[in-house]
Amino acid sequence: MFWFWLILGIIVLFIIVKSIVIVNQYEGGLIFRLGRVVGKLKPGINIIIPFLDVPVKVDIRTRVTDVPPQEMITKDNAVVKVDAVVYYRVIDVEKAILEVEDYEYAIINLAQTTLRAIIGSMELDEVLNKREYINSKLLEILDRETDAWGVRIEKVEVKEIDPPEDIKNAMAQQMKAERLKRAAILEAEGEKQSRILRAEGIAESLRIEAEGQAKAIQIVAEAAREYFKDEAQLYKALEVANNVLKDNTKYVISENVLDVVKNFIKKDSA
C-alpha cells in the first residue's frame, strides 16, 4: 500500500511538473495541441495539458548571426571573398514558427544568395569602394523578404572583402607610389620655400646695402661741397672718387656716382 501511494504521488508530481511551462521575459511562443495552435505562451508561468500540449518557445531579443565567407564573381569577372554579419529580431512569434522551418538558417542562406547577386552586379572597384551601398542594399532586400517570416532585419554589415592576391599586390604598389609621390611633393615644396626665403633674404640685404651706399654718397657730397668752394674743383674730386668706387665696389649701381652727386648738389642748390 505504501508503494502504491508513493508511485501515485510521483506520477501526480510528474504530471504537475509537465503541466507548467516557464517562459522568460525575452521569450515568446505557441502552444500546440494535437498539431493545432491553441494559444500563445506569455512571460511567466503557463499551464498546459501534459502529453497533449506541446510548447514551442522563441527568443525575441535582437540576435546576431554570421554569414560565412564565400567566393563571389564581380561584374568584371574578378573573384572576391566576402562575409557579413546580420542583426535581426523576431517581431511576430506565430509567423516565425509557422511560416518557416528554421528562420536563422533561412536568413543566412538568403543573405548569401542576395549578397552574391549584389556583388555580381558591381565591378571590383565599386565593390571595394562602396561598402555602405552594399550594406544598405542587402539590408533593404533581407528586411523585405523576411517580413513574411515575422523577422525584422535591423542591421547588416559586410565584415571583409578579400580581393585576389594580384589585386592586393597592385593596390599595395599603388599605395606605396602615392606615399612616395606625396613625399616628393612635400620635399619639392620645402625646397621651393627655402629658395624663396633665401632669395628674399639676399634681396633684403642688397636693398639695405644700396640704401646705405646711397646715404654714404649723400654724406660725401655734402662734405665735398663744404670742402671744395670751387665747383670745378668739386666735380674733379668727385670724378676721381667715382673712378675709385667703380674699381673697388662689389655691388652694381644703376647710376653713375658722379651723376648722383651732381643731381644731389643741383637739387640742394635750388
> What cell does 221 get?
657730397
Residue 243's pLDDT is what? 59
Helix (H) or strand (E) holding 263: helix 257-269
Nearest to 60 by CA among 87, 107, 92: 92
Residue 37's pLDDT is what? 92
For the entire predicted model, the pTM comes to 0.60
pLDDT tens by residue, 192-232: 787 777 777 777 777 777 676 667 666 666 665 665 555 55
Nearest to 111 by CA among 142, 72, 154, 70: 142
Neighbours of 242 (CB within 10 A): 17
Residue 197's pLDDT is what? 78
> What cell does 100 get?
518557416
Fold of the domain spanning 63-163: Tetrahydropterin Synthase; Chain A (3.30.479)
Positions in the chain whose pLDDT score sits under 50: 250-255
Residue 133's pLDDT is what? 92
Neighbours of 163 (CB within 10 A): 19
Domain ranges of the chain: 16-59, 63-163
